[in-house]
């Protein structure tokens, strides 16, 4: 008997195999493919329109794994079509290692099963009301938004909602935007539920991933807490998906298979016929528009937990103050920080820039240090005495012979967190100071460092945007935004929205236990709309204005954008091919094609990049037509196309 077997590779169709086994759709099988053996899945459709004659090979074996459910297959077929991704690559997201998970000691799973217990936390009236609204909506597929000011106790509300789902024997998935959040979040989860969740992200070992994968498909693990990729795990009986910090840009996977995990979570819930809860303090524009249209239901937490007050805001106008040479912190800020430290407040200096300086040049020979692989400056990291490209990872030491004299006379233009840390140490030499960024928090010591911050053993933090994402620091009552102006200069259509969400989240780290707290903004432009939007306690005012601007200009969420990026090593060849490709697409799509233009980062990892932007109506017809046209077009050797449906970043 013939069976269609989908393999985890770049093909958009299953391959036909023969077997004497009794097989059903969704079964895992091992098949010969070329000179290797590979794990595939019995798919729900055969390859279409294949007129070639070929020898049909036999399936080697059926694996002893529960089959993939029909609604999971349906979701993967839809996912492939929506994101213009080959079906085999969508399946690869499910299979992870592509090898059969080996049986493990079943006692291992005992710690991961819901046991009916929970930490009896008393909810406020606000929280109880929101919980009732969520529970009412969590009976079938429905998107419910829980919006609450930072520190309002949203987590405990959705934990209670999840508990009700687990009591019915279902599994739960909690998506987090950053893997750095999982340690603190896991601790909070165990304290509440009295059992362990499975953690899933890119840093989990292959061996542990196999064990977790096997436990999930067999229903031996009740809850998964994970990053984007956990969305594709083969749950036996998924009952609820929770997307924490739904507005976060990190949910967008922008390499390899490109997709938005928040949007795909909603779609997966739709195919599974289960509810999905979106958690946020400031909704994304797309979510806000769906709330307005009543496509999504919503409940709100207006007050912080135990009525802790929101932080005050103060603007330090740098245009009226002269900063000292090589200084980035005003005398006023230093005095205000001193007064907070005297009250035993923890202090955070925030600058969303890693390293010591984003730009280094020699004032003798005027040589600026840029990446040899990418069209961007190298960032100087003083702690390691190297220049680093934050895109391709190129590294070199800062020892350069000057073309004019013996050695370069370096000028470091602009600050990064390391530079601010140096200045803070000069002003507060007796204080315990730590940098909180992806350079310092991805190490094994991060758990220990978090404990020290929570216990107020670290008095001053210097952090990037990583610190704004969901961490609970009970003693943090003073935040200094070193340079708010730098984040305002960006041509991204989502820049204003990103800034609002970032600084609302950041401010939410302060004053969470009731003590008075203040956020200080250093700026040369005190009339900045960014500051006015951030300091307004009602973010919906900004969202309303932003929706009107987007609607007027036919921008997302009112039209669909699809970014097409062509890459190649030969610049002239690439430019000609981009024009040729546009002419091929022209008049064949129900949409407008903009470009081709050089991508803002024109050269990345030794390859030039040119972008076309397709904008059109929000229906699947655009993707279907575009996919069909792409498969018919033959690109010149060495030129590759990547497709980004609903792009968030325009780099």
Domain span at 595: 560-645
> Residues 193, 262: one domain?
yes
Say whether 328 sits in a helix, a strand or coil.
coil
- DSSP, collapsed to helix, strand or coil, labels residue 305 as helix
Q: Is the predicted pLDDT of residue 313 greater than 90, yes or no? A: no
- Cα distances (Å, whole numbers) of residue 264 to 163, 185, 270, 439: 23, 23, 10, 30
Task: Note whether residue 385 is domain-resident.
Answer: no
Largest Cα–Cα distance of the chain, in whole Å? 83
Domain assignment present for residue 553? The answer is no
Contact 435/421 with Cβ under 8 angstroms?
A: yes
Does residue 571 sit in the same domain as residue 483? Answer: no
Separation of alpha carbons 578 and 401, rounded Å: 40
Give yes or no: residues 431 and 538 share one domain: yes
Per-residue pLDDT band for 593 (boundaries 50, 70, 90) equals: very high
375 falls within a domain: no
pLDDT tens-place string over residues 512-535: 676 888 889 888 876 667 777 777
Mean pLDDT of 467-488: 79
Given its phi and psi angles, is residue 13 left (phi above 0), alpha (psi -120 to 50 degrees) or beta?
Answer: beta
Last residue of a domain, one of 278, 306, 334: 306
Sign of CA dihedral 525, 526, 527, 529: positive
In-domain check, residue 404: no
Q: Which of 95, 124, 141 is the last residue of a domain?
A: 95
69 and 37 share a domain? yes
414-442 residues labelled b (16+ CB within 10 A) or e (exposed): bbbbbbbbebbeeebeeeebbbbbebbbe
pLDDT recorded at residue 623: 94
- For the four alpha carbons of 320, 326, 328 and 331, in that order, the dihedral sign comes to negative
CA distances from 578 to 556, 610, 639 (A): 24, 7, 10
Q: What pLDDT shows up at residue 456?
A: 82
Q: Which one of 310-319, 475-484, 527-536, 594-603 scores highest in mean pLDDT?
A: 594-603
- Is 321:579 a contact under the CB 8 Å cutoff? no
Q: Is residue 389 included in any domain, yes or no?
A: no
Give which of 535, 543, 501, 530 is closest to 245, Cα–Cα: 501
Same domain, 320 and 302: no
Boundary (domain end) residue, out of 547, 580, 613 = 547
Please report, for the domain that includes residue 200, its CATH number: 3.40.50.300
Structure confidence at residue 20 (pLDDT): 87
Average pLDDT, integer, range 99-115: 75
Structure tokens at 147: 């919006």
Any idea which residue has 């991961």 for tokens? 112
Strand partners, 567: 609, 640
Do 300 and 312 share a domain, yes or no? no
Residues 293, 315 share a domain = no
Residue 404's pLDDT band (cuts 50, 70, 90): low
Which helix (DSSP H) or strand (DSSP E) does residue 206 occupy?
helix 206-217
Same domain, 129 and 264: yes
In the prediction, which pLDDT does 561 show?
95
Residue 540 has pLDDT above 80, yes or no: yes
Asked, for residue 381, whether it belongs to a domain, the answer is: no
Residue 393 lies in a domain: no
Q: Looking at the structure, tell me whether residues 300 and 318 fall in a common domain.
A: no
Is 310 within 8 Å of 503 (Cβ atoms)?
Answer: no
The token duo for 88 is: 């085999």
pLDDT at 340: 93
Q: What are the pLDDT digits (tens) for 322-359? A: 888 888 899 999 999 999 999 898 999 999 888 898 88
Domain identity same for 56 and 112: no
Q: How many CA atoms lie within 13 A of 85 on its CB side?
A: 26
CATH number for position 573: 3.30.70.600
Both 160 and 295 in one domain: the answer is yes
CA atoms within 13 A on the CB side of 489: 5
Q: Among the listed ranges 50-59, 207-216, 234-243, 401-410, which one has the minimum average pLDDT value?
A: 401-410
How many folded domains does the chain comprise? 4
* Extended beta strands in 74-211, E state: 143-148, 171-175, 198-200
- Mean pLDDT across the stretch 211-222? 92
Return left, alpha or beta for 633; rule: phi > 0 is left, psi -120 to 50 is alpha, else beta.
Answer: beta
Q: Is the pLDDT of residue 197 over 90?
A: yes
- Averaged over 136-148, what is the pLDDT? 93
Q: Are strands 460-463 and 346-350 parallel, antiparallel or unpaired?
A: parallel
Is residue 651 a part of any domain in this protein? no
Q: What is the pLDDT of residues 117-134, one digit of tens each?
A: 877 788 888 999 999 999
CATH number for the domain that contains residue 69: 3.40.1440.60
- In the chain, count of helices (H) and strands (E)? 17, 30
Same domain, 230 and 180: yes
Per-residue pLDDT for 497 more than 60?
yes
Which pLDDT value is given to residue 90? Answer: 95
Please report the pLDDT score of residue 73 as a whole number.
96
DSSP 650: -
Does residue 490 surpass a pLDDT of 60?
A: no
CB atoms within 10 A of CB 349: 26
């Amino acid at each position: 008997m013939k069976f269609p077997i989908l393999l985890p590779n770049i093909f958009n169709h299953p391959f036909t195999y023969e077997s004497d086994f009794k097989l059903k759709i969704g079964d895992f099988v091992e098949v010969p493919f070329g000179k290797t053996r590979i794990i595939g899945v019995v798919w729900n459709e055969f390859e279409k329109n294949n007129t070639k004659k070929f020898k049909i090979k036999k399936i080697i074996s059926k694996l002893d794994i529960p089959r993939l459910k029909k609604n999971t297959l349906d979701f993967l077929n839809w996912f492939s079509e929506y994101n213009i991704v080959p079906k085999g690559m969508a399946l690869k997201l499910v299979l992870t290692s592509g090898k059969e998970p080996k049986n493990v000691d079943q006692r291992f799973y005992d710690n991961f099963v819901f046991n009916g217990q929970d930490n009896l936390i008393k909810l406020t009236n606000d929280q109880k009301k929101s919980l009732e609204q969520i529970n009412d909506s969590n009976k079938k597929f429905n998107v419910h938004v829980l919006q609450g000011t930072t520190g309002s106790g949203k987590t405990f509300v959705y934990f209670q909602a999840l508990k009700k789902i687990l009591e019915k024997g279902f599994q739960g998935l909690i998506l987090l935007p950053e893997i750095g959040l999982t340690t603190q979040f896991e601790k909070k989860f165990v304290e509440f539920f009295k059992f362990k969740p499975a953690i899933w992200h890119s840093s989990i070992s292959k061996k542990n991933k196999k064990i977790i994968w096997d436990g999930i498909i067999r229903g031996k693990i009740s809850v998964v807490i994970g990053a984007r990729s956990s969305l594709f795990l083969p749950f036996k009986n998924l009952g609820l998906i929770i997307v924490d910090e739904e507005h976060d840009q990190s949910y967008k996977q922008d390499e390899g298979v490109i997709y938005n995990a928040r949007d795909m979570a909603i779609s997966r819930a739709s195919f599974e016929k289960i509810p999905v809860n979106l958690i946020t303090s400031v909704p994304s524009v797309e979510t806000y528009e769906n709330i307005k249209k009543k496509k999504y239901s919503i409940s709100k937490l207006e007050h912080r937990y135990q009525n802790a007050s929101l932080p005050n805001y103060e603007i330090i106008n740098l245009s009226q103050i002269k900063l000292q040479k090589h200084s980035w912190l005003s005398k006023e800020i230093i005095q205000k920080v001193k007064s907070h430290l005297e009250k035993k407040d923890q202090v955070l200096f925030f600058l969303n820039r890693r390293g010591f300086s984003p730009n280094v040049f020699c004032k003798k020979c005027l040589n600026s240090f840029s990446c040899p692989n990418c069209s961007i400056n190298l960032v100087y990291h003083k702690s390691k005495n190297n220049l680093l490209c934050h895109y391709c990872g190129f590294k070199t030491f800062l020892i350069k012979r000057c073309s004019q004299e013996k050695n370069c006379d370096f000028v470091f233009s602009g600050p990064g967190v390391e530079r601010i840390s140096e200045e803070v140490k000069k002003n507060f030499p007796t204080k315990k100071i730590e940098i909180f960024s992806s350079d310092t928090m991805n190490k094994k010591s991060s758990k220990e460092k978090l404990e020290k911050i929570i216990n107020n053993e670290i008095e001053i933090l210097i952090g990037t945007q990583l610190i704004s994402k969901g961490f609970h620091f009970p003693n943090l009552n003073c935040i200094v935004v070193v340079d708010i102006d730098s984040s305002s200069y960006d041509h991204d259509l989502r820049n204003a929205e990103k800034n609002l969400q970032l600084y609302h989240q950041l401010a939410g780290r302060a004053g969470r236990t009731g003590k008075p707290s203040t956020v200080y903004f250093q700026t040369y432009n005190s009339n900045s709309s960014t500051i006015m939007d951030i300091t307004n306690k009602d973010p919906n005012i900004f969202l309303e204005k932003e929706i009107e601007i987007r609607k007027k200009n036919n921008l997302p969420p009112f039209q669909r954008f699809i970014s097409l990026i062509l890459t190649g090593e030969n610049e002239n060849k690439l430019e000609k091919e981009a024009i040729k490709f546009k002419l091929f697409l022209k008049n064949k799509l129900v949409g407008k094609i903009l470009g081709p233009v050089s991508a803002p980062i024109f050269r990345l990892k030794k390859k030039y990049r040119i972008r076309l932007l397709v904008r059109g109506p929000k229906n699947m017809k655009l993707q279907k037509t575009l996919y069909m046209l792409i498969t018919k077009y033959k690109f010149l050797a060495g030129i590759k196309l990547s497709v980004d449906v609903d792009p968030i970043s325009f780099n």
